[in-house]
Chain A
């Protein structure tokens, strides 16, 4: 999911940059004072998660944590992912600095979609619905991210289905592991502090 420098064409890089900037702008507008520490903690978790590699499967893969990131942050996942990726790129040369916009969109947009689709499930009153929503969110976010990454790469001449399949198969173990972790996290939050499952927005929607 972390595309290196020099892979993508200028047009794709610019399109990614514009989308990422738009998402980040909306995210920053929506954020509320009390939500800032939550965004920071999730950014730190995202930043570290990518360093944890899963030694299963044919290619080299690592944790992403975008499902839980989306559920907890909503639109504010854009500034979180952008910050995390910028630091990964600067400190570890993990993902290209010019591809920052595209990589941000590839990871934050799935998180946002998952927030919109699975968020209501996770916050529902029924425990089994919440658990299903959490597992679905984790797996779906990675699936979407793989598809978006493959989509960004078709302009470099790679075949969409080939590349999407390659990324997806590689990430199947990650999907399973993250679904499990996300279910654990959501079940813990529901018992200990259910408010945390609300996005850190200015106007809080009441259930």
Chain B
């Protein structure tokens, strides 16, 4: 009975591990570049899903709202290049997801369109396994500190 339960659980965890190829931090990313006289923005979740109907707001250096719009089904939104200024582009993907991208005025004149491969590379930003271990190590470090404090309190 007991060993069956253990095997069941082990199997279940194996299935979970196999069904997830990558680990992703859950956040949205906004990326913007200049292409054919337009500023193109692309918004996506860290697992590669595009942000649909996310609202984009563009501010200049004096925090005046210049452009607003919605991302399409591919997570894209484009707008004509506004007067030369440092731009702050904000994505609100609802449910508390927000991302900010800054575009310097120097970048506005040039054609900064990234290559297709670069964009796919950007989109699939997984989590480094080292950071996961660092996090787990921190948790057990805190456990050690907590136990130490607890023991001293008791004395």
Contacts and interface: CB of A to CB of B under 8 A. Distances in A.
Contacts of B135: 44, 47-48, 87-88, 91
A149 B96 contact: yes
B14 interface: no
Nearest to A187: B5
A59 B94 CA distance: 11
Interface of B: 1-2, 5-6, 8-9, 12, 16, 20, 23-28, 45-47, 49, 52, 92, 94-100, 127, 131-132, 134-136, 138-140, 142-143, 146-147, 150-151, 154
Contacts, number: 127
Interface of A: 1-8, 31, 33, 36-37, 39-40, 43-44, 47-48, 50-53, 55, 58-62, 83-84, 87-88, 91-95, 99, 149, 152-153, 158, 163, 166-167, 170, 181, 184-185, 187-188, 191-192
A6 B26 CA distance: 17
A187 B1 CA distance: 11
B49 A59 contact: yes
A170 B49 CA distance: 13
Residue among B96, B97, B99, B127 with the highest chain A CB neighbour number at 10 A: B96
A115 to B, nearest CB: 20
B71 to A, nearest CB: 13
Given A58-B52, A60-B49, 8 more contacts: A7-B92, A31-B146, A43-B139, A44-B139, A48-B132, A53-B26, A87-B139, A94-B25
B96 A99 contact: yes
Given A153-B96, A166-B95, A167-B95, A94 B9 contact: no
B142 A40 contact: yes
B25 A47 contact: no
Contacts of B8: 184, 188
